[in-house]
Structure 1
Amino acid sequence: MTPPPDGTLAQRKRQLVADELTQAALTLLARDGFDAVTVDEIAAAAGVSKRTFFRYFASKEDVVVQFLAGLGTAMCEELAGRPAEEPPSAALRATVWRSVDACAGHADRVLRVVQLILRTPALLGRFLERQAQWREELAAELARRLGLDPATELYPQLAAGMALAAFHTVLQRWSDSDGTEDPATLTDRAFTVVAPSLDAIPVPTSGTGTGTVPTT
């Protein structure tokens, strides 16, 4: 068998170290609390030096937020793959559910991390920064799907913002209930509230006024 290129081996090694640091950090932080754990302790638990830690992460906050970084990518991928004829509320519900399910599907490991993020001001701030980035990405995809100009129409950003508000609210309620509330039911309830606004799609315009066409 031909060995893989050095670049591939290096990437795998780097990913392995990052995964070990992430797992060590999440275990310590969820057990002891964010303020009680030091970077030195995280590095020691992962079997690396403090210098190595800082090659991969700028801070403790970055380790935890990186754990959820893939959620935004997953949501954009889901939205891009939804049927073109699907109403926005249904497409965005499926989009949000993909990431909610990714959390709830591993509740024994993820719930404590979600609670840590939502209950630690420094981590919550970083998580909200990520959500702002996701809003821009989801808005761009919504504009493409609906043939709207994101530079002139308000709908894409507002709709993306509502979907992410639903996402955050579901995670918050799930976290506050210590995992006892059903995430699917919470997601359905959230989108029942926002669906009428999401499905009032504006008519693309190139000039003055803009009407809306509610979907059925």
Structure 2
Amino acid sequence: MTKQAGVTLAERKRQLVSDELSGAALRLLARKGFDAVTIDEIVAAAGVSKRTFFRYFASKEDVVIQFLAGMGAAMRAELAGRPADEPPSVALRHTIRLSIDACADHADQALRVVQLILGTPSLLARFLERQAQWRDELAAEMADRLELDPRADLYPQLAAGMALAAFGTVLQQWSDSDGAEDPADLTDRAFEIIAPALDAVA
């Protein structure tokens, strides 16, 4: 019992330090731009050592990409939990809306992070790498839902790719509007366009 409490306390402390570092970094990066901020500035703002920074993150890019870290798993879990008889377009729209709504819940910070990612080539490359991983995970889930062979059938990868293309388009539009557009509304509009193709398999 004591050991478990100690592990829990250690994990909570680690999360607090990680959150403090992330918050300090994102505030600086959003204000000054990615290339203008040094790790020394980040650790000074967070009140920790550079050694502590590198215990949590390998680079400045990792600080920003952590913002996206849980999205893939959360989207796959959401898709897995959707009703089995739901049309693919509806299931995938709810799946993408999960991440969009998470951004909207922290709109100011999320918008700045999205703008930072889309406007910084190295971060955009990392984001696209993440999306490729998410596509494979969502495709595997779609194949299970529809009892398709993911190696022989084109549909699962295409469906996941279309859903994530909608996700990326919504983020770009939201970023370009500087937050004036409603990302949830943009998501619904995007899925109205791609729904006929997504549901053709049914």
Q: Deviations over 1:28-58 (max 9, x none)?
A: 1001100010111111111111111111111
CA separation in 1, counterparts of 2:51 and 2:82? 44
The yes-or-no answer on 1:155 pairing with 2:155 is yes
Shift of 1:195: 0.9
- 1:2, CA displacement in angstroms? 6.7
Partner of 1:134: 134
Percent pairwise identity: 76
- Separation in structure 2 between the aligned mates of residue 10 and residue 102 of structure 1, nearest angstrom: 27
**Is 1:63 aligned with 2:69?**
no
Unmatched tracts of structure 1, length 5 or more: 202-214
Distance 1:181 1:14 in 2: 36
- Separation in 2 of the partners of 1:47 and 1:105? 27
Choose between structure 1 and 2: higher helix proportion.
2
Provide the C-alpha distance between the structure 1 equivalents of 2:65 and 2:12, rounded to a whole number of angstroms.
21
Cα offset, 1:101, TM superposition: 1.1
Matches of 1:65 and 1:157 in 2, distance apart?
24
Say if 1:75 and 1:84 are closer, same or farther in 2 by CA, change over 3 A. same
In 1, the alpha carbon distance for the partners of 2:76 and 2:23 equals: 25
> Which residue does 2:92 correspond to in 1?
92
Shift, 1:4, TM fit: 5.0
Structure 1 residues 78-131: Cα deviation after superposition (integer angstroms, max 9, x where no partner):
111100000000100111011111112221221111111111111111111111
Secondary structure (helix, strand or coil) at the match of 2:92 reads helix
Aligned residue for 1:5, secondary structure, equals helix
SS at match of 1:100: helix
Aligned to 2:167: 167
In structure 2, what is the Cα distance between the partners aligned to 1:137 and 1:3? 35
Greater length-normalized contact order (CA 8 Å, ≥ 6 residues apart)? 2
Q: Distance in 1 between matches of 2:2 and 2:133?
A: 41
Instruction: Return the TM-score normalized by structure 1.
Output: 0.89
The reply to whether residue 197 of structure 1 matches residue 197 of structure 2 is yes
User: Amino acid of the residue matched to residue 12 of structure 2?
Assistant: R
CA-CA distance at 1:152 after TM superposition: 1.2
Counterpart code for 1:196: P
| Superposition pairs of residues 1-216 of structure 1, within 5 angstroms | 5-201=5-201, 215=202
- Separation in structure 1 between the aligned mates of residue 3 and residue 126 of structure 2, nearest angstrom: 40
Moved more, 56-65 or 182-191: 182-191
CA–CA distance in 1 between the matches of 2:14 and 2:2? 21
Consecutive unaligned residues of structure 2, counting only runs of 5 or more, are none
Aligned mates of 1:97, 1:168 — CA distance in 2: 12
Q: CA deviation at 1:69?
A: 1.5
Partners of 1:158 and 1:132 in 2: CA distance:
12
Name segments (4+ residues, structure 1) moved above 4 Å: 1-4
Mapped to 1, the partners of 2:4 and 2:78 lie a distance apart of 32
Shift of 1:16: 1.2
Match of 2:70, SS state, is helix
